[in-house]
Structures are given as C-alpha cells and as structure tokens.
Structure 1
Amino acid sequence: MPSSTLRGIILIMVSMTIAAFAGAIMKLLGEQIPAYLVAWFRFLGMSLLLLPYLIWRFGFAGLKPARPGMQMIRGLSMAGATTLFILGSQTVDYADAIAILYAYPFLLAIIAVLFLNERAGWPVWIGVTVGFAGVLLVIRPE
C-alpha cells in the first residue's frame, strides 16, 4: 500500500475519532445550553483554530470566497444542520444519531442527480442502497 494511501486512511480515522468526541460533547452541551449556542461555539472554535493556518497558507486574499452568496448559503445550511443534529440527538441515543448520519451517502446521491445533473450508475445505487439498509438494520434490528 502506498504511503500516501496509508496516510490518507490514518487521517480519515483520526478525523472520525475527533468527530465522534465532538458529537458527544455537543450532545452533552445541548442538554445544558440552547442548541444554536452549541453550534455557534463549534463554528467559532473551528474558525479560531483554522484561521491562522489559512492566513499562513493562502494569505488574506485566500479568505475571500469566489462566490460569496453560495458560501453564505453553505454556511447557513451547515449551521442549520448542526443545530438540528444537536436537537435531534437529545431525543435519541447518540449511537442511533450517528447511525442515521450514515444515510448521508444515499441522500447525497439523490441530491447530486436531481440538482447537480450528476450521473450515478448502478454500482453507486447498489452501494448506497446496501449502506442505507445497514443503517436501518442498526437503528431497528428487529
């Protein structure tokens, strides 16, 4: 296995571990403060961590998006999704909330076909359908 592939696998595994801890912390905080504040602090923290690197790597010019309107829509969508995840995770077990997130590839494939005019062949649909069936099995194993 090439070292770049192994490096990518390790980075993804570390990323998923951090995301799991972050999600658990968001669920705990969501029980104590409003969900929108949890989301706001999450994005503030990420911004403070990434801003120095981005300025160092790309300069201040790299902070200006090419399409500000689309970036605003993306940011609002992420803030809304995060807030709704926090609210939803308060009513279900955290393991179930994470399992539901694995429906994302199924939804992404549908959205890509409908709105981005992407083409998805049978292997894609078979893969996302089997994955979605796995999600349903985890959530409702009976």
Structure 2
Amino acid sequence: MRLSGIPLAVLLLMAGVSMFAIQDTIAKLLGEAGYHPLQIVWARYTCHLLIAAAVPFLHRGPVPWRSTRPKLQLGRSALIAMATVCAVTALKYLPLATAATIAMTAPLFVTLFAIPVLGEQVGWRRLTALGVGFGGVLLVLRPGIAEFDPMALVMLASAAISALYLTLTRITSRIDPHEVSFFFTAVVGSVASLPAMFFVFEVPANGWHLAMFLLIGCFGGLGHLLVIMAHRHGPAAVIAPFTYTQLMVAVFLGWLVYDRLPDAFTWAGAAVLVGSGLYVWRREWARARAERRRIPTSS
C-alpha cells in the first residue's frame, strides 16, 4: 500500500524532527569532547550546504540562489545560524530532554511574534495558552533554586530566535520555492561561521569524531529536507502536533546514550508545554479552517 497525502506528511515530519534530535545528540557529544561550538556549527551547515546544492538539480528544481527577496532570505538564514550557535553551546551542559523541552517553546514564540511581524490577531484564549505554556517552561528552568542552570536561558534564547526565523519563513514560503530557502539557510550558516575556523578549528582526534562531524550536517540537512517534503504533502495546521516527536526521541536518546531520564519537574513542564502548544495548534487549525470557509471565528 502506497502512502500519500496527510499520512505520508506525518511520517515525513516525524522522521525529519527525529533527525533533529539525533543532530542535537551528536552536537552534545562533540561539545563534551571539547570542540568549539562554532566548529560544530560550521560542520553542520557545510554538510547541509552540500545537500542543499545537490537537491534542486536531482529533480530539476529551481536555481537555489535565485530569490525574489534575497535580503530577507539572508536575514532569515542568519537568525537560524545564531539560534544554532546558542543551541550547540547550551547542549554541552543541559540534558537532552531538558534542552528539547525548552526548544519546544518555539511554536509559542511564533504565535507571539506573528502579532507584530505578520500583523495577526491573537485572542485571549491563545494568549492564555501562551502564558500557561511559558509557565511550563518555568517548571523546567526552575529559576531561583539550586538546580537552575543558566545555560537553560541560552537554550530559551535559541528557541526565541528560531521562532523569529520561522515567522520570517512564513513570508519567504510565499515568494520563493522551498529549495531556495533550504539553500540560503545552509550557505549563510556555513559562510558566516567559516572565518572563525582560523581561530577555533581543531583536527578531529579520531575517526569517530570525524564521522560525527560529517553526520551532524547530514542529519540536520536531511531533517530540514524531510520537513519541507512533509509540508508539500500535508498542511502545516494538520501535521504541526507531530513535531513533538522530537521531544520523545530526545528523551529516548538521553536514556540510551547517557542512561538518564527527565526528572519530575521536567516531565511536568513538558506536559504543560505540550498541552498548551496543542491548544494553540487547535485554535490555529480552527481559525484557518474557518477562513477557508469564510466563517468568522474568535481567536
């Protein structure tokens, strides 16, 4: 039986975000091995660039560097590069499940940033859900007590910057093919981090480390590609909840690699965060459906 439509989109999305969890695990291992975050980021985007340069030509797609809004593409890509630097820096110190839970605040930030950037109207229900979601983040962060790790704030900054990137992606997706955005993301991250290699580059200590440097870009690039393919087969408003697969995979990898499971605060915060995120998704989905039918709905 051949899958198509929404079932295929869900599987592609789940595979894509699972690769992001694997990418984060590799970044954490390399960081713990002593490699500089900028070297890890450079390797991640350089391998991504090789994939991005090849993909359009494999299926006769558009020339990837031809954008109708190149400045917007450059700014958007610079944001995700900054977010990656923050994430790689924080991952060295945070448990995988904690980092993944904090990263899941990005959809909440997207809804928040859509108000000034896209001019969207957000009603009291979704604003309340956002407040509840950020309350869940406080359970994970635990500010003011001994277990609080300042690196959690760096991961939160990564999520906020990623959300701004995703907000701008909503604009670029309307004016440029996905292959163009995919290419710009890779080339900006690779080129921007390249000058730092003269100061921080360290030859991989062994074959295993070299393999991880190659794999981190492959998993990251293929993850982005699968997510793009998922959105071609199914609407974002329908498949969005399955992005939480990344959190579940991160928990599994944290147990597999580090023999560590989240503590009670992280479980509770994740539950609150996912619940509020699903509610926001439900409101977005209902709103989009009503707009398609031209039936007014409260937000």
TM-score band, normalised by the shorter chain?
0.7 to 0.9
Q: How does 1:15-30 map to 2 (within 5 A)?
A: 15-30=16-31
Residue 85, structure 1, aligned to residue 87, structure 2 = yes
Partner residue of 2:53? 51
Structure 2 spans left out of the alignment, 5+ residues = 143-264, 269-299
Q: How does 1:25-104 map to 2 (within 5 A)?
A: 25-31=26-32, 32-55=34-57, 56-60=59-63, 62-104=64-106
CA distance in 1, matches of 2:16, 2:135: 25
The C-alpha deviation readout for 1:16-69, integer Å capped at 9, x for no partner, is: 211110110011112331111111111111111122111343243x42121111
Partner residue of 2:11? 10
The alpha-carbon deviation at position 124 of structure 1 amounts to 3.2
CA distance in 2, matches of 1:131, 1:122: 14
Provide the aligned C-alpha RMSD in A: 2.3
CA distance in 1, matches of 2:82, 2:94: 19
**TM-score of the superposition, structure 2-length normalised?**
0.43
The alpha-carbon deviation at position 15 of structure 1 amounts to 1.0
Is the CA contact 1:26–1:86 (under 8 Å) kept in the aligned structure 2? Answer: yes
> Which protein has greater RCO, CA pairs closer than 8 Å, 6+ apart?
2
Label 1:107 to 1:26 Cα distance change in 2 as closer, same or farther (>3 A): same
CA distance in 1, matches of 2:12, 2:129: 23
Q: Secondary structure of the residue that 1:58 maps to in structure 2? A: coil
| Bigger Cα Rg | 2
**TM-score of the superposition, structure 1-length normalised?**
0.83
